[in-house]
Amino acid sequence: MKELSQEEWQKQLKNDKEAVILDVRTEEEVEEGYIPNSKNIDIYKGQGFINEVEKLDKSKHYYIYCRSGKRSSQACTLLDQMGFSETYNLLGGFSEWEGEKTTD
């Protein structure tokens, strides 16, 4: 796991052909807005989260965020333990995100 600032995250993401953005917040939090093209898998779902994550391609690079950066840090550690090649945690999470946002 690497901790990335918003600037590092956006710059690296733009140039990464293997990038997947993973949002580990709850559905209620996602309804308030999310980073475009992100896949939502709620880390609070426990085994359900692990089951969903196991379906993902471990060779891709995962850019993971939550509201503040705590849950996404846990998710990065978990994915690392499961054999994922590269995980990146967004420092400060979505609450400090100043990049592009989408709401449904």
Q: Walk me through the domains of the chain, giving residue ranges and CATH numbers.
A: 2-96 (3.40.250.10)
Tens-digit pLDDT profile for residues 16-46: 999 999 999 999 999 999 999 999 999 999 9
- Residue 103 clears pLDDT 90, i.e. is over it: no
Tens-digit pLDDT profile for residues 42-84: 999 999 999 999 999 999 999 999 999 999 999 999 999 999 9
Contact (Cβ atoms closer than 8 angstroms) between residue 42 and residue 65 = no
Q: What are the distances in angstroms from CA 25 to CA 12, 94, 95, 100?
A: 22, 10, 12, 17
Q: Give the active site residue among 22, 35, 43, 66.
A: 66
Q: What is the pLDDT of residue 15?
A: 95
66 is catalytic: yes
**pTM (two decimals):** 0.96
Q: What are the distances in angstroms from CA 73 to CA 44, 101, 104?
A: 13, 21, 26
